[in-house]
Structure 1
C-alpha cells in the first residue's frame, strides 16, 4: 500500500474556499483506479492547517493519480496557501490492526505481574 499525505497551511481568509474546493474534489479523487481512501483532516488547534490523506493499492495507481487532470486542478489551489503543498509519499511494508494493540497490552499485563518465588 502507498500512502500520500498532503499538508496545507491555508491563508486564513481563504480557509472556507479551500475546504469547499477540496470537498468538491475528493469524490472524484476516490474514484481513481486503485484508490483505497481519500480523506480531509483539519487541525483541532488551527483550522487553517489541513491534511489530505490518500491510500493507494500500488505506486503505479498513485503515479496515475498524480498526473491526472483532477490532481492538476488540486495543485492549482496553491494560490490559497501560505506556502507550497507539503507532499509526502510513504510505502507501507506491513500493516497491523487491533491485534497489535491487544498484543502490546497483553505483554504489558504479563510483565506487570511479578513472579512469585
Structure 2
C-alpha cells in the first residue's frame, strides 16, 4: 500500500491528499473576504488551488481533471475568462462545469481537482 500524505488539514477535511502518484483536492471556495463577484471568487479559488498543488509537489501540468460548480450558469463566460488566463498553455486537463446550489449563498464557485505526480 502506498503512503498517504495529507496537506492543509482542517477539522473536516484535508485540502489535498496525495496517494502514490495521485493527488486530489477537496472542493475549494473563495477565501473569506473575497468579493462577491465571480471573477474575483474564481481568482481566489485558483490561487488557493495553486498553493495546494505546490504543497502536493505538483503544478498545473500535473492536473488530470478539474470539476467546477457554479451557483449560476450565467457566470460561465466570466469564470472562463479568469480560468483561461490562469490555465495558460499547459496540456489541458479534462474539465466539467455544472450549475449547482453551493454550501453557502455567498459562494459563486467551487473547484475540485485531481492529478498525477
Q: What TM-score, normalized by structure 1, do the two folds share?
A: 0.31
**Structure with the largest fraction of helix:** 1
Q: Which has the larger radius of gyration?
A: 1
TM-score (norm 2): 0.31
